[in-house]
Amino acid sequence: NYTAFVAFGLGPNAVANGGEQRRSLNDIIKEAHNPEAEKIKTEIDSLKKERSAIISKIKDLRRRISYKEAELAALSKLLEMKKSTSKFDSKRIGYLKHMKRTLEFKISTEASSLADEKELVRKINQIDAELDEAFSFVRLERKIDLMKKDIEAYSESLSKYNAEIGEKDGKIDSLYT
């Protein structure tokens, strides 16, 4: 039975369809010479192309969101670990800045011995180290906040694109009916 179909130039699909070879939508439209059907077909094709572009944007956004979430989790752990091992206090930053300015003013305006001046410079360096540590906490907290905002913005874009996909699907479905 199969060989008879092959002899007539029909493929294996024709065997399953009872002798009729399945034709594509493009072939049917071309044979019909129906300009309205061709117009609908081009609309469907353009909508599918737009839908495909949106899907690639969604994939990219999902990848970015997962990357940002992983980075956020790592930074949050780092911040918690630093806070548990350090004596960080955000109110202390202002005090340290004031102390540094006071000591620098003392060095520049008061006459003192070399040993006293070296002691003031040592204290300033110690305060600088404490300020650097305090600012690292502030920078980490700021970076975590920015990442949360990025994730939120990406999620909003993702929901917008999902709505657009639903809209395109609705248009495509209406064109098929």
pLDDT, tens digit, 9 for 90 and up, residues 104-155 = 998 888 888 889 889 999 999 999 998 888 888 889 999 999 999 999 999 9
pLDDT attached to residue 76: 92
pLDDT band at 99, cuts 50/70/90? very high
Find tokens 């990848």 and name the residue: 63
Name the pTM for this structure. Answer: 0.64
pLDDT attached to residue 32: 65
**Mean pLDDT on 83-92:** 74
Q: How far is residue 129 from each of residues 133, 135, 136, measured CA to CA in Å?
A: 6, 10, 11
- Cα 73 from Cα 78, distance rounded (Å): 9
pLDDT attached to residue 6: 41
**Mean pLDDT on 83-104:** 83
